[in-house]
Amino acid sequence: MDKIKILLADDEEDILSILTKKITENNFECMGTSNGADVLKLARGFRPDLILLDIAMADKDGYTIASELRQEKDLKVIPIIFLTGKDLKPHSIEQRVENLGAYDFLMKPCSFKDLLDKIHSALKV
């Protein structure tokens, strides 16, 4: 059986590197990018089963990226879990998550166990 594919987008290189390594160590195939503008193109080619998407990125925010993903027939069904380290109000994030049809969100920093639990829940594995 093929490994489950996860696309990770986070503009903080250290977080991107650590999470990519940990996700791969947990038997997933992981592709990461620090450039929000590349997410759509990568999703088209990589065909991930799940997308972990930072909300606050330098070049393009996660909400915009999620909206673009939701407009693509083949990509709109991919579960998205937003990640954010910004001091955003959880209630406003919940509303945006729901409006964009994303699965859920996590505030950074979070434990890798919490992230892994969300991944398993979203993928029903």
Look at the alpha carbons of 25, 94, 53, 107 in this order and tell me if their dihedral is positive or negative.
negative
In the chain, domain spans: 5-120
Tokens found for residue 60: 């393009």
Tens-digit pLDDT profile for residues 68-96: 999 999 999 999 999 887 665 666 777 77
Reduce the DSSP state of residue 105 to 3 states and report it.
strand
- Structure-token pair, residue 106: 């996590």
In the prediction, which pLDDT does 52 show?
96
Structure tokens at 14: 């250290």
What digits encode the pLDDT tens for the residues 27-44? 999 999 999 889 999 999
What pTM does this model have?
0.91
pLDDT score recorded for residue 106: 84
Task: Decide if 45 contacts 62 (C-beta within 8 A).
Answer: no
Homologous superfamily of 5-120 in CATH? Response regulator (3.40.50.2300)
Tokens of 52: 């972990």
Contacts 24+ apart (CB under 8 A), 66-75: 66/100, 66/101, 66/102, 67/100, 68/40, 69/39, 69/40, 69/43, 70/100, 70/101, 72/40, 72/43, 72/44, 74/44, 74/47, 75/40, 75/43, 75/44
**Beta-bridge partner residues of 82:** 53, 105
Per residue in 104-121, pLDDT tens?
Answer: 888 878 889 999 999 999
